[in-house]
Structures are given as C-alpha cells and as structure tokens.
Amino acid sequence: MTIASFILVAFLLTSSRALTTISDSHPLDGSVGTQSIRVNAFRGMVSIRDNNVLSEWNGVLDYKNDLLVAKLYSKMACVLAKMDQAAFPTLDDINKTLNHQGLKHYPSTRGLTYTVLPSRVKNLAQYGTSIKDMCREVPTYFAQQRKEGTALAVDPDSCFEVQLLSFMGLSICGEIPGL
C-alpha cells in the first residue's frame, strides 16, 4: 500500500510539473525593452513578446505542430514557417534557462534564415487558436528556411532580426508582398 501511494504521488507530481506554465521577463542586451517569455509545456508552446522599440515583435514556437510564427510590427505582417526542431532548443532547455538552471548544448540557431514567400496564408484557423489570434488583423505569409551555405537573392536590408533570450537568433528576410 505504501509503495502504491508513493507511485501515485510521484505520478501526480510529475504530471502537474508538465502542466505548469513558466513565465519570465528579461531585459534585452543593448536595446531599450524587455522580452517576456511564457512556456506552456502541456500545450507544447512558447510565447514571446519582445517590446524593443527598434524591433518589436511577438512570436509563438509551436512544438507540437513544428510551427514558428512571428508578428513583425514594423512590417505589419505575420510570418509563418515550419520549425526545424533539431535547430531549436527544446521546451525543457527553455524552461531550464528561465529557471536559471543552465542550458545544455544544442545546435546554435544563429544564422538561421527564413525567406518570405509571396504566398499568403488564407486560413489561419488550421494552425491553431494562438496563431490565428496573433495574426488575425495583419496579412500572414509563409516563409521557408534557407539551408546553410545557400546564397540569398534578397537585399540584406530587408531582413528582420529575431532574438530569443541570449541563445537563439534568426533572420526573416525578403520583401513582404503588397507593402
């Protein structure tokens, strides 16, 4: 009976830990603003709010559906892309960083580049409520990750730099059609 009770308590504690939502705010290095990050392990999502006055953006990393979405305020558009989970930190890595427990080694995302495609997303609802709600009032475009070492046929000045905490950075490049 004692062993069964211990197993039940351990299971409930482990399950409740998976349901927790961790949220934290961090000052941004070298800029004016902060970044708020919210991790919902149960839904497999990370929500980011970066209020840097020079490059304000919101984002969602949807680990269950391998999706990345960024709402770029300076462009008044959203960009939706398939997320290569091998190149991104895991939810556990982000939780550990937010809890100041350190971060295990993983492939760096610095230098990851996504190119905006001219195709516009017509049905945001198919990508989930979080993405639909974030991008509801602005046009949303698909973007494709460029393989490392491939030449970009876009103007580097058209790139929007996205930074998540101090360990993850990527670029969204290309002209947003219609703007």
Q: How is the chain split into domains, by residue range?
A: 21-173
CA dist 19 and 28 (Å) reads 28
CA dist 14 and 11 (Å) reads 5
Query: Which pLDDT tens digit goes with each residue over 96-132?
Result: 777 775 544 444 445 688 899 988 999 999 999 999 9
Characterize 67-86 residue by residue with b for buried, 16 or more Cβ atoms within 10 angstroms of its Cβ, and e for exposed: bbbbbbeebebbbbbebeee
Question: Is-contact 28 8, C-beta < 8 A?
Answer: no
Q: Decide: pTM greater than 0.85.
A: no
Q: Report the pLDDT value the prediction gives residue 106, as an integer from 0 to 100.
A: 42
Query: Which pLDDT tens digit goes with each residue over 146-174?
Result: 876 555 555 667 788 877 666 677 888 88
